[in-house]
Chains A and B, each alone.
Chain A
Amino acid sequence: MDGAVDTPPRVTPDPARQRAAHQPGAGRSWLRTTWSDLRRQAWAFWFLAPAAIAYTVFLVWPLAQTVQYSFYDWNGITPATPVGLENYVAAVTEPEIRSALFRSLVFVGFYAVLPTALGLLIAGVFARIKVRGMTLFRAMIFVPQILSTVVVAVAWRWIYAEDGPLNALLELVGLGSLTRAWLGDFTTALPAVGLIGTWIMFGLCMVMFVAGVQKIPTDLFEAARLDGAGAVREFFAVTLPALRGEILIAMIFTTTVALRNFDIVWNTTAGGPGDSTKVPSVFIYQAAFQSREVGSAAAIGVLLTLLILVVVGIIGLLLRDRGDS
């Protein structure tokens, strides 16, 4: 067999044409889709059914139930009493929950902004320098993502302990005056927990960005260099714009995790010392499992979901691809 004949011509696919080719109804607005169109395409629903059923049972249904519960005063067992918007009013007017929301925003800094920045920095460096053993390095940095958060929390509790390695290191370099029980100190507990989040998240961001850099055509870098761009200029002119999609996904994912952050906080400080690391999800847990106020837990949960949607929406708007649509 002659291999040369079977080899398809190497043509760089045009993304725009590809998209058009895959959309039979392209060009026609979905609003104008008629019932006869739907009936003709009804068989398509059968392919959607498995996913739709799983999605409904595990996501839509519990979400709908949560919304319903939020309008009741319910202990989870005995018949519930409808209370209208009372749970929402209580949640919004509770000063403790408001300060917990503020702490959530601090966590966005540690869980989303910092890891994205670090990931970009590393991706930018790797765009210029080829490193041996890159795969191993990437795998190592990615490990925190796949570890159970309880394991992570226990490990960091040890690192941050008064007689733990972090303080030992500080003593070693002559900063003994800074040592403290990092998670037990009112001023350092919040950033200490936040940095655990940075550690978990930045590997994911880095892997996404490094992968993103690899799909940037090398001639763009070459062109930039020929035009005399330095490392910084090259990063802002070539790497950063090309990674917009990856940044968007990384930011949405990490911000969501930051806002619903619970396991790390609960397993390191239980919201303490005092209330200094209490986040909204701690209130949800306490209301649902400790004081059995399912309604108010559900209301805080719905509010938190809405907040996440709004924040993610804002991020999407800020980073949207202006060249498209």
Chain B
Amino acid sequence: MRAGRFVPASLVAAGALLVAGCSAPGSDDGSAGDSSDAAAEEITAPVTPEEVAELGDVTMRIWAEAGEEATLNHLVPIFEKKYPNVTVDVTIKSFDDLTKTVVNAMNSDSAPDLAQGNQGYQVDGALVQAGLVRPLDDVAEAYGWEDDYSEYSLNQFRWNEDGSRWGEGTLYANSPVTQYIGVYYNKDLLAEAGVEPPESWADFEASLPEIKSAGITPIEFGNSDKQAAMHLFGAVSGRCQTADEVNDWVAGVEGADFRSECNNQTAATLVDWVNQGYISSGYDGVTMDDAALRFGDGSAAYYIGGDWLAQQISPRGGNIGFTELTGEHGKLVATGASSMGWHVSSKTEVLPAAVAFLGELHSPDYAQALADQKRVPITGGDDVTSDDPLLNDDLIAARRLLDDNGQTAYLDWSTDTMYDEFGSRLQELLAGRIGPEDFTEAVQANWAAFQEDR
């Protein structure tokens, strides 16, 4: 009896090992980098409905993040009307699901024609490295993206040939929407403390003791997911350094160093804020989103966080404003980037339709529609407005930040393990377990190790 159990099990196991052992992973699936002829065709001018019509009746498949749902619900019917031979099939995924599955999906035989990636090595880097996405330099040229979009907003989607370095090179994606870190303030609580809404970081720092002595918590903070502290650091450190300094370091430019006076100082300032009681207590046990909701309910005078949280804060009914603060250098500098970039599959059979879709989405003519979906367009200029006062603040702050060329890349794009490293060390810093210099040293060590590996 035991033989009966033993023999098939071991045969099966041995067989599986044998088969699995045949070839190196990733070498034999034949799908990676198999570009279609259709995708290789060059785009020289904006695609016309007639050119798209030549495709006959086709379905174009799109993978998008949940934040795009309202936009796509608006744009897809318009697009299908203008290009009646195209049926658009949209798959919506949460941020986590999308970033974890999109690379494999683009690698499959049934890859979507258009899909959102995520800037940095983990998603966009992998897509470029494996040749799964089509270069878009010709599309940018044909649609004049370089006039409508800032250099920085396009550079986050530029990669070198082997996908090992980003920031310059071939353009692989674009996004019409920007997202950035700013300062929310509760107008009623500031008035109660006798403080004017701040315009600069100096104003902001000066107001903290006044707010505190009025018995109001100055800054709401929630950091259990280790992400909010990085955003806080990215915003506050913008007061004493230029956007180029940060972006060079994140892009891995040789000789860049995180252990700058500005970063050390920022680390010390944040610790001081915690010790002075300017930051809400128990923050490592509260999620970033919950903290935003609390702030919306009037828990504190300030909240430093992503402009996208306005959609959660606004409905809570508080009298809330949103702004960017001027630094010591007289400019606005804060973490910010385009939303997840739109990629065209290198296997698409419906290139004209995919390009036409990107053209419509990125057109300055579509910017107001994006604002109506409560999103912040990069193009469109001052004409784009919103009835929602908080969102209108958001649109104005974004315009000012973009005009100052002040957006800095998310600090965790610097290496493939920085997200956790930065978040963990920052938690230790704020808890007083390591000093400001230990913190910047640890971050730089992770950066240096990664640069050496490449």
Residues of A within 8 A of B (CB): 23-25, 30, 33, 37-38, 41, 44-45, 48, 52, 55-56, 60-61, 63-65, 67-69, 72, 74-82, 157, 160-163, 180-186, 268-275, 278, 286, 289-294
Cβ-based interface call for B17 (8 A): yes
Q: How far is A162 from B103 in the complex, measured between Cα atoms in Å?
A: 39
Report the minimal beta-carbon distance from A187 to chain B, rounded to whole angstroms.
10
Q: Is there contact, CB below 8 Å, between A290 and B122?
A: yes
Cβ-based interface call for B449 (8 A): no
Chain A residues near B100 (CB, 8 Å)? 289
Chain B residues near A82 (CB, 8 Å)? 24
* Binary contact track B60-95/A, C-beta < 8 Å → 1, others 0: 000000000000000000000000000000000000
Which of A23, A80, A270, A292 meets B224, CB within 8 Å? A270
CB closest chain-A residue, reference B299: A163
Q: Is there contact, CB below 8 Å, between A290 and B26?
A: no
Cβ-based interface call for B25 (8 A): yes
Assuming the A-B contacts A48-B8, A80-B27, are A270 and B225 also in contact, with contact meaning beta carbons closer than 8 angstroms in the complex? yes
Q: Is there contact, CB below 8 Å, between B32 and A77?
A: yes
A-B contact pairs, 19 of them (CB 8 A): A24-B1, A30-B3, A33-B3, A52-B9, A56-B16, A77-B107, A162-B286, A163-B282, A181-B286, A182-B285, A183-B224, A183-B284, A268-B224, A270-B224, A273-B427, A274-B424, A275-B424, A290-B122, A292-B103
CB closest chain-B residue, reference A163: B282
Chain B residues near A55 (CB, 8 Å)? 9, 12
Chain B residues near A68 (CB, 8 Å)? 20-21, 25
Report the minimal beta-carbon distance from A36 to chain B, rounded to whole angstroms.
12
Q: Is there contact, CB below 8 Å, between B16 and A270?
A: no
Report the minimal beta-carbon distance from B78 to chain A, rounded to whole angstroms.
35
Besides A271-B420, A294-B25, 16 other A-B contacts (C-beta < 8 A): A23-B1, A24-B1, A30-B6, A63-B16, A69-B25, A74-B26, A78-B130, A80-B24, A183-B284, A184-B285, A186-B431, A269-B224, A272-B284, A273-B424, A273-B428, A290-B419
With most chain B CB atoms within 10 A of its CB, the pick from A69, A74, A78 is: A78
Q: Is there contact, CB below 8 Å, between A181 and B8?
A: no
Cβ-based interface call for B283 (8 A): yes
Residues of B within 8 A of A (CB): 1-9, 12-13, 16-17, 19-21, 24-27, 32, 100, 103-104, 107, 121-122, 126, 129-130, 132, 223-226, 281-287, 416-417, 419-420, 423-425, 427-428, 431, 433
Report the minimal beta-carbon distance from B76 to chain A, rounded to whole angstroms.
29
Chain B residues near A81 (CB, 8 Å)? 24
CB closest chain-A residue, reference B131: A78
Chain A residues near B122 (CB, 8 Å)? 290-292
CB closest chain-B residue, reference A42: B4
Q: Is there contact, CB below 8 Å, between A76 and B26?
A: yes
Chain B residues near A270 (CB, 8 Å)? 224-226, 423
Which of A41, A184, A186 meets B4, CB within 8 Å? A41
Assuming the A-B contacts A162-B282, A184-B285, are A60 and B6 also in contact, with contact meaning beta carbons closer than 8 angstroms in the complex? no
CB closest chain-B residue, reference A66: B20
Binding site secondary structure of chain B: helix
Q: How far is A48 from B285 in the complex, measured between Cα atoms in Å?
A: 50
Report the minimal beta-carbon distance from A46 to chain B, rounded to whole angstroms.
11
Chain B residues near A183 (CB, 8 Å)? 224, 284-285
Which of A65, A77, A157 meets B126, CB within 8 Å? A77
Chain A residues near B9 (CB, 8 Å)? 52, 55
Which of B1, B3, B16, B433 meets A274, CB within 8 Å? B433
CB closest chain-A residue, reference B427: A273
Q: How far is A88 from B22 in the complex, measured between Cα atoms in Å?
A: 21
Q: Is there contact, CB below 8 Å, between A185 and B284?
A: yes
Report the minimal beta-carbon distance from A159 to chain B, rounded to whole angstroms.
11
Which of B132, B416, B424 meets A292, CB within 8 Å? B416
Chain B residues near A181 (CB, 8 Å)? 281-286
Chain B residues near A69 (CB, 8 Å)? 25
Q: Is there contact, CB below 8 Å, between B433 and A186?
A: yes
Q: How far is A162 from B2 in the complex, measured between Cα atoms in Å?
A: 57
Report the minimal beta-carbon distance from A302 to chain B, rounded to whole angstroms.
13
Assuming the A-B contacts A48-B4, A64-B13, are A80 and B25 also in contact, with contact meaning beta carbons closer than 8 angstroms in the complex? yes
Q: How far is A185 from B281 in the complex, measured between Cα atoms in Å?
A: 11
Report the minimal beta-carbon distance from B19 to chain A, rounded to whole angstroms.
8
Chain A residues near B419 (CB, 8 Å)? 290
Q: Which 6 A-B pairs have the closest CB atoms?
A: A184-B284, A181-B285, A181-B282, A162-B282, A184-B285, A291-B416
Report the minimal beta-carbon distance from A19 to chain B, rounded to whole angstroms.
11
Report the minimal beta-carbon distance from A82 to chain B, rounded to whole angstroms.
7
Report the minimal beta-carbon distance from A9 to chain B, rounded to whole angstroms.
29
Chain B residues near A76 (CB, 8 Å)? 26, 103-104, 126
Q: How far is A24 from B21 in the complex, measured between Cα atoms in Å?
A: 38
Q: Is there contact, CB below 8 Å, between B126 and A56?
A: no
Report the minimal beta-carbon distance from B367 to chain A, rounded to whole angstroms.
33
Chain A residues near B104 (CB, 8 Å)? 76-77
Q: Is there contact, CB below 8 Å, between A52 and B12?
A: yes
Q: How far is A60 from B11 in the complex, measured between Cα atoms in Å?
A: 11
Chain B residues near A162 (CB, 8 Å)? 281-282, 285-286
Q: How far is A275 from B426 in the complex, measured between Cα atoms in Å?
A: 11
Assuming the A-B contacts A77-B126, A184-B284, are A272 and B16 also in contact, with contact meaning beta carbons closer than 8 angstroms in the complex? no
Which of B12, B285, B423, B424 meets A56, CB within 8 Å? B12
Report the minimal beta-carbon distance from B288 to chain A, rounded to whole angstroms.
11
Chain A residues near B24 (CB, 8 Å)? 72, 79-82
Assuming the A-B contacts A77-B129, A270-B224, A292-B126, are A161 and B285 also in contact, with contact meaning beta carbons closer than 8 angstroms in the complex? yes
Q: Is there contact, CB below 8 Å, between B416 and A290?
A: yes
Chain B residues near A293 (CB, 8 Å)? 416
CB closest chain-A residue, reference B425: A274
Q: Is there contact, CB below 8 Å, between B284 and A64?
A: no
CB closest chain-A residue, reference B450: A291
Q: How far is A75 from B32 in the complex, measured between Cα atoms in Å?
A: 12
Report the minimal beta-carbon distance from B454 to chain A, rounded to whole angstroms.
13
Q: Is there contact, CB below 8 Å, between A161 and B4?
A: no
Q: Is there contact, CB below 8 Å, between A78 and B285?
A: no
Q: Is there contact, CB below 8 Å, between A25 and B1?
A: yes
Q: Is there contact, CB below 8 Å, between A77 and B286?
A: no
Chain B residues near A275 (CB, 8 Å)? 424
Q: Is there contact, CB below 8 Å, between A77 and B26?
A: yes
CB closest chain-B residue, reference A164: B285
Q: How far is A108 from B423 in the complex, measured between Cα atoms in Å?
A: 27
Q: How far is A292 from B122 in the complex, measured between Cα atoms in Å?
A: 7
Q: Is there contact, CB below 8 Å, between B25 and A74?
A: yes
